[in-house]
Amino acid sequence: MKNLTITQKIAIKWLTTIDSNQAIYLLLKPLHVTLRVLFYALLIGGTFFISKFGLSLTELTKDVSLAIALIPTIGVSFIVFYESIFSLNVPEILKEKREQKQFIKATKAQWWRLRNMKFWVRIILYLFIYIFIQQFLQIASMVAFFETVQAPTQAHINEFINQFQTLLKYFTVAYILMLGTMEYFINKRKAKQCSSQS
């Protein structure tokens, strides 16, 4: 699996997602290379024609419809990379891939788990969530304020700003405490995982 080229990796990905039952792969493998090339050309050309014809019935401009028609055509064109895996032991590669997936699942080593992310990635994620919640609170507070106070005076606005800043301070402290607790348990689990593997 490690020694595969980019085209072979794309072909394997295409095989496991689009052609998951391997019908197209098994149909093409015994054919002569000329017939396979003809199949690729007809499939790619047919996809583009059908997409373009379907979009011509809509009120989209020519440039937009052409761009949209190219998306499925490019996706289908990846089937050409099958040529790079016909000489490989595909069942063995797929078996290895399944075993790797099972190992990742069993050891909980998925990339999206916080403990498997690098520290700086977690920091960026935490900052993004903080900014999102802060903006949401600001918009919600402003909407609530202007719905409650129909004709706000400067005193009302100043009071609103002070109260919102107080709310933001409490939220920031609570958020930092929550992140500190999360980081503690993340590092604890990472240490436990490292000790169990060694």
pLDDT at residue number 24: 85
pLDDT at residue number 74: 80
Q: Give 26-42 pLDDT, tens digit per residue.
A: 888 888 889 988 988 88
CA distance linking residue 143 with residue 145, whole number of Å = 5
User: Under a CB-based contact definition with an 8 Å cutoff, are residues 101 and 76 in contact?
Assistant: no
What are the structural domain ranges in the chain? 6-106, 114-197
* Whole-number average pLDDT of the chain: 82
- Residues ≥6 apart with Cβ < 8 Å to 138: 164
- Residues ≥6 apart with Cβ < 8 Å to 85: 8, 11, 12, 15, 93
pLDDT at residue number 132: 93
Please name which of 55, 59, 78 lies closest in space to residue 67, comparing C-alpha atoms: 55
Q: Which whole number is the average pLDDT over 142-161?
A: 86
pLDDT band at 55 (very low <50, low <70, confident <90, very high): low
Calculate Rg over the CA atoms of the chain. 28
Q: Cα–Cα distances in Å, from 15 out to 48, 78, 148?
A: 21, 10, 58
pLDDT at residue 110 above 90? no
Q: Which whole number is the average pLDDT over 4-15?
A: 86
Query: Which tokens in the block code for residue 115?
Result: 């403990």
pLDDT at residue number 196: 62
